[in-house]
Amino acid sequence: ISAVIGGVVALGGSLMVAKYQLGAEERRTIEQQRVLIWMDTAGNFNSYISNWNRLIVIAEHEEKQGRLNKREEERKERYVAERDKPKDALYGTLEKAKLFFGKEVHEQIEQFTAWEKEKVHRKRLNELPPITAWEERKDAILGSMTKELKQP
Report d(CA 85, CA 78) in Å as an integer: 12
User: How does the average pLDDT of the chain come out, rounded?
Assistant: 87
* pTM, full prediction: 0.79
If phi over 0 gives left and psi between -120 and 50 gives alpha, with beta otherwise, what is residue 48? alpha
CB under 8 Å to 104, separation ≥6 — which residues?
144, 147, 148
CB under 8 Å to 128, separation ≥6 — which residues?
52, 56, 119, 120
pLDDT over threshold 70, residue 17: no
Q: Please write the tens of the pLDDT for every residue from 114-142.
A: 999 999 888 888 888 999 999 999 999 99
- 42-46: which pairs have CB atoms within 8 A and are 24 or more residues apart? 42/138, 42/142, 44/86, 44/89, 44/90, 44/92, 44/93, 45/90, 45/134, 45/138, 45/141, 45/142, 46/138
Q: Please write the tens of the pLDDT for every residue from 33-59.
A: 999 999 999 999 999 999 999 988 998
| Confidence at residue 22, expressed as pLDDT on a 0 to 100 scale | 55
| Confidence at residue 5, expressed as pLDDT on a 0 to 100 scale | 52
Task: Name the pLDDT band for 11 (thresholds 50, 70, 90).
Answer: very low
Burial class (CB in 10 A: 0-12, 13-18, 19+), 4: exposed
- Return the higher-pLDDT residue of 13 and 29: 29
